[in-house]
Amino acid sequence: MKTTNVSDHFHEECGVFGIYGHPEAANLAYLGLYALQHRGQESAGICSTDGERLHCRKDMGLVAEIFTESVLSELRGANAIGHTRYSTAGQSARLNAQPFLVECSKGQIAVAHNGNLTNAIDIRRDLEMSGSIFQANSDTEVIVHLIARSQEDNLEHALRESLLRMEGAYSLAVLSKEGLIVARDPYGFRPMAFGQIEHNGHTAYVFASETCAFDLIGATYIDDVQPGEMITITDSGELHRKRFAPVQDRHHCVFEHVYFARPDSVVFGRSVQKSRELLGRLLAREAPVEADIVVPLPDSGVDAAIGYAAESGLPYRMGLIRNHYVGRTFIEPKQSIRDFGVKLKLNPVRGVIEGKRVILVDDSLVRGTTSQKIVRIVRQAGAKEVHLRISCPPTISPCYYGVDTPDKNELIAANHSIDRIRDHTEADSLAYLSLEGLKQAVQDVQGEYCYACYTGQYPTDLVGIEQLLADSREKK
């Protein structure tokens, strides 16, 4: 159940939500977080304000479990931010739940954050040296300290000063009694969409990591929060959009389109579903194979498999069924069941697979262990051949911008040739989409995406971070 990796401490994926000027701010934040639940299932929280003080509730668990009617009724006020978090297990999980609410020189402020600061360890070390205390181990606490330490006398200026010290990836929402501020790093690593809800002749502003959160609450998508942009809504309800940093090359995380975002979202201005289908189509063109059916790994491989099938002219079939009634842990029988872990989630459909040459389409192949088990159970269900097709290039480098990835030495493609990987997975053939194919699928004509996990070329300076991470691993 446990994975040991660099992201044990500072890197994780999250969903962020913000709303300003709606009488049911907390209720809508709750629904928004429910739509963003796929971005983090370990903890969730909402912080609201009625202009008098901030009200906060966060806990371990799913959004639908944490927020009961009585909990929501205490989150008073027309403005709110929310957060869902994927986190590593352990004692600190509860402390790292967000939004992070403190009282400081800028009054009460709450921060919800998605991303990973590449210089967080440095800043934290400096802050500790000058007397700051840390209760958790998230980047968010670092951000709040910077704001609190700022000599600027208002929150907006203090935040801007803080952002300018931060390197790496962040999309964040800051709530105070006076208003709401949303900001996104100059490279635009992580998404953050901006929308509106009309109600009784008023306009409420909403922000969310993905547009699927807008759909549920009836909000209209207006624009992305731009890279390097800060949007401030003051207590008079006025909205200001300002740049806080010079224009930079953009580096949108391509993995949002490959895997992470919901297919019904528009991310970085592009429909995720369109990207995924195209990934499959291009994969079919690049790596065709004679076969009888195309089978997705549900649910994440579905769209690419549909694309692959459409492009290849081969039938698309649901040859693997996913069990959705998943609990947190499972008790394994003592007398081991072969490929037990995979079987808990996936079961092959013999009627579909038997006697067929099967193309299995998946969106990633990280360590290779799971793929091997899936190939096996498909073959046991009677497949004559099993051809594995991955709708992105080989993953060879860890991410330092907010995606939880294993260490390089656990990434099979970083250490082995495609032939070796094929052998390991026991597939009859294996092919990945090319980097060019990936660029084309997300229509990255202007080079605005980050492909570091596929290329090892990081768009920002990471001097020191690898050494620091290595140190911290040793100390553990």
User: Per CB under 8 A, which of residues 194..213 are in contact with a copy of itself?
Assistant: 199, 212
Choice between 246 and 327, CB closer to a copy of itself: 327
Choice from 87, 140, 273, 312 touching a copy of itself (CB under 8 A): 273
Residue 83 contacts a copy of itself per CB under 8 A? no
| Residue 450 is a catalytic residue | no
Name the residue with tokens 């953009």.
250
Residue 30 contacts a copy of itself per CB under 8 A? yes
Name the residue with tokens 């997705």.
296
Residue 289 contacts a copy of itself per CB under 8 A? no
Residue 263 contacts a copy of itself per CB under 8 A? yes
Q: Tell me, what DSSP letter sits at residue 66? A: H
Residue 303 contacts a copy of itself per CB under 8 A? yes
Sort strands 54-60 and 43-49 into parallel, antiparallel or unpaired: antiparallel
| Candidates 330-338, 361-369, 450-458, 462-470; binding stretch for a copy of itself (CB under 8 A) | 330-338
| CA distance to 144, 295, 357, per residue, from 377 (Å) | 49, 13, 14
Residue 331 contacts a copy of itself per CB under 8 A? yes
Helix or strand (DSSP H, E) at 197: strand 193-199
Kindly report the number of other CB atoms within 10 A of residue 292's CB atom.
Answer: 17
Largest CA distance in the chain: 72
> Which tokens sit at 266?
């528009």
Residue 140 contacts a copy of itself per CB under 8 A? no
Instruction: Single out the catalytic residue among 14, 47, 253, 450.
Output: 14
Report d(CA 254, CA 111) in Å as an integer.
25
Number of residues that bind a copy of itself (CB under 8 A): 90
> Which tokens sit at 86?
């994927």
Residue 38 contacts a copy of itself per CB under 8 A? yes
Choice from 2, 334, 355, 474 touching a copy of itself (CB under 8 A): 334
Residues for the chain: how many in total?
476
Choice from 10, 17, 67, 260 touching a copy of itself (CB under 8 A): 67
Report d(CA 293, CA 43) in Å as an integer.
40
Question: Least Å distance between CB 108 and a copy of itself?
Answer: 9
| Candidates 2-10, 100-108, 183-191, 281-289; binding stretch for a copy of itself (CB under 8 A) | 100-108
Report d(CA 10, CA 453) in Å as an integer.
17
Give yes or no for a contact between 75 and 45, defined as CB atoms under 8 angstroms apart: no
Residue 267 contacts a copy of itself per CB under 8 A? no
Residue 474 contacts a copy of itself per CB under 8 A? no
Give yes or no for a contact between 393 and 454, defined as CB atoms under 8 angstroms apart: yes
User: Per CB under 8 A, which of residues 408..467 are in contact with a copy of itself?
Assistant: none
Residue 327 contacts a copy of itself per CB under 8 A? yes
The set of catalytic residues is 14
